[in-house]
Amino acid sequence: MTMIKKLIFLPLILLLVVSCQPEMKKQTELPESVTLSKEALSDKIRGGWAGQTIGCTYGGPTEFKFKGTMIQDYQEMVWYDDYIGEIYVLDPGLYDDVYLDFTFVQVIERLGVNAPADSFAVAFAREDYKLWHANQAARYNILNGIMPPESGHWMNNPHADDIDFQIEADFAGLMFPGMINSAAELCDRTGHIMNYGDGWYGGVFVAGMYATAFISDDIAFVIEQGLKPIPPQSKFHQVISDVIAWHQQYPDDWKKCWFEVEKKHTSEKGCPEGVFNAFNIDASVNAAYVVIGLLYGEKDFYKTMDIATRCGQDSDCNPATAAGILGVMLGYSRIPAFWKPAIEKVEDVMFPYSDLTLNQVYDLSYKHALEQVEANGGAVGSNDLTIKVQAPEQLRFEESFPGMFPVKELLVRTDHLEESIKIDFSGTGIVVLGNVKSRCIDESRDFVALLDVYIDGEVAEQVKMPFDYITRKYDIFHRYMLPSGEHKLEIKWVNQHPDFRIYFKSYVVYDDKPLEPLSKKVNL
């Protein structure tokens, strides 16, 4: 049956799928311990994984199609019973925020929760799945001998503040119910594989909300506890604190809250693809959209997921996070029936880019959660378990790209390199964007371009650029913390090949002070 025949427009059936939700319980303090039945724990873990998968699928069609603008109410979303199964086949790469989680779960199953960061890093770097941004930059680093935490550090990863770990930290919260500090410690080892600073804090925040959702039915409290480990001086903490305040100011209008986020927090200096356009994959901004969905969704599954999606930008990952957290709070059994057939049809199907099914992951996470309850001072009985709840502890302060300001982006737009390309720039840093392209119909995946890079006449690096998409270098070259002033960059292609081209897209220049606006140079 085709998509057109089965298409259901959600606004038309909203009244049919909204379930009766329990009254919001205002919570102000953490209990010392919480007792759950084993059945309830299992139900909540299943709800987290299922919610994440449903949310990712729901927002998939709009991912990065609405940049710097919300998705208007007249933009209809779709859902039908075979939707997830079809996306599994048609667009498996959509689930990068889920299948990477699976890799970490498998490492824990094989080596235990105390496995070193290198074990997690090597496992994900060697997987044959698609990755982007901070993840792909980290994969390249690891495959070329740069291990965590250096693989995620902003000096080695221009995408250190991107969303990557934020969308992959679900597994940590799911295996540490009520144990936010233990989840944060695991996030320290795994999150610094691909991120640093705000990018790392995003994952800690998400894992903390998942962990708290096991022991609280109060959305605002869950957000508050998730934020406590994040240092107040960080941009991430400031963004989420502002969203909480704006929600109090505009409790009935999520769009006003969204506008405030756009006005104050959407400037970008990390990801080179987004500093001079509307594209924004920054962890803090997209986490703001997650929080908007959670607060204004008021524990309604559809409403939470829909608002997080309509905030735009990374509109598959953000509803996945929001629906996953709410899925833990509600439990799988209380996810409205409308969404169940689509997830039930794939729970025994091998997940994209994985050798696990959702049902198998449900079971592994449940097993790991029981182990960690006991390991962290709780107790597991025949039917019930008692969690020793952890009060959040503040983490160390990290900041990516301190004292750096993007000042210009220039297009290169050349798809060939005969001998070299030369770039003169003034500043303290530069990122060159581009990739290797093939001119052949029969594209070989074994070619690796070698580029010698010189800065001010001195050898800076020999860059390896695989043509293979899985092992590719995400950016051609970057270098930060240069002396402020004039610099000459030269890139030479050492092993030129007639079947391949080096495509130079653009380069972004950074300096130690912001660019002086034209308004200060002319009389207006």
So what's the pLDDT on residue 3?
A: 36
- Report the pLDDT averaged over residues 438-452: 82
Average pLDDT over residues 439-453: 83
**Rg of the chain, C-alpha, whole Å:** 23
20 confidence band (pLDDT: 50, 70, 90): very low
pLDDT, position 84:
98
Residue 7: how many other CB atoms lie within 10 Å:
12
Q: Please give the mean pLDDT across all residues of the chain.
A: 93
In this structure, are residues 196 and 167 in contact, taking their beta carbons and an 8 Å threshold? no
Q: How much is the pLDDT for 28?
A: 87
Which residues on adjacent β-strands are paired with residue 380?
385
Structure tokens at 475: 């950016």
Q: Are 214 and 328 in contact (CB under 8 A)?
A: yes
Chain segment 478-505, per-residue pLDDT in tens: 999 999 999 999 999 999 988 888 988 8
CB 342 within 8 A of CB 81: yes
pLDDT of 300 strictly over 50: yes
> Domains of the chain (ranges plus CATH)?
3-388 (1.10.4080.10), 405-520 (2.60.120.260)
- 20-29, 68-77, 93-102, 266-275: which range is least confident on average? 20-29
pLDDT band at 413 (very low <50, low <70, confident <90, very high): low
Buried b (16+ CB within 10 A) or exposed e, 383-408: eebbbebbebeebeebebbeebbbbe
pLDDT at 112 over 60: yes
- Please report, as a single letter, which amino acid is at residue 349: V
**Tokens encoding 457:** 């006449």
Nearest alpha-carbon partner for 160 in 322, 20, 283:
283
| Confidence at 231, pLDDT banded by 50, 70, 90 | very high
Q: Is the pLDDT of residue 6 over 50?
A: no
Task: Copy the structure tokens of residue 289.
Answer: 């959209």
Provide the whole-model pTM: 0.94
What are 64-95's pLDDT values in tens digits?
Answer: 999 999 999 999 999 999 999 999 999 999 99
* Res. 245: pLDDT tops 80: yes
Burial status of residue 233 (CB atoms within 10 A of its CB: 0-12, 13-18, 19 or more): exposed
Q: Which of 72-81, 216-225, 233-242, 431-440 has the lowest mean pLDDT?
A: 431-440
Nearest CA to 164 out of 124, 191, 125 is that of 191
Q: Rounded to an integer, what distance in angstroms lies between the CA atom of residue 354 and that of residue 100?
A: 9
Decide: 163 and 202 in contact? Cβ < 8 Å. yes
| Closest by Cα among 109, 85, 80, 105 to 173 | 105
Q: Are 312 and 71 spatial neighbours (Cβ–Cβ below 8 Å)?
A: yes
Query: Given pLDDT bands bounded at 50, 70 and 90, which one contains residue 1?
Result: very low
Amino acid present at 384: D
Beta carbons within 10 angstroms of residue 523's beta carbon? 4
Contacts of 167 (CB under 8 A, 6+ apart): 96, 97, 206, 314, 317, 320, 321
Q: Helix crossing, 254-265 with 283-297: angle to 10°?
A: 170
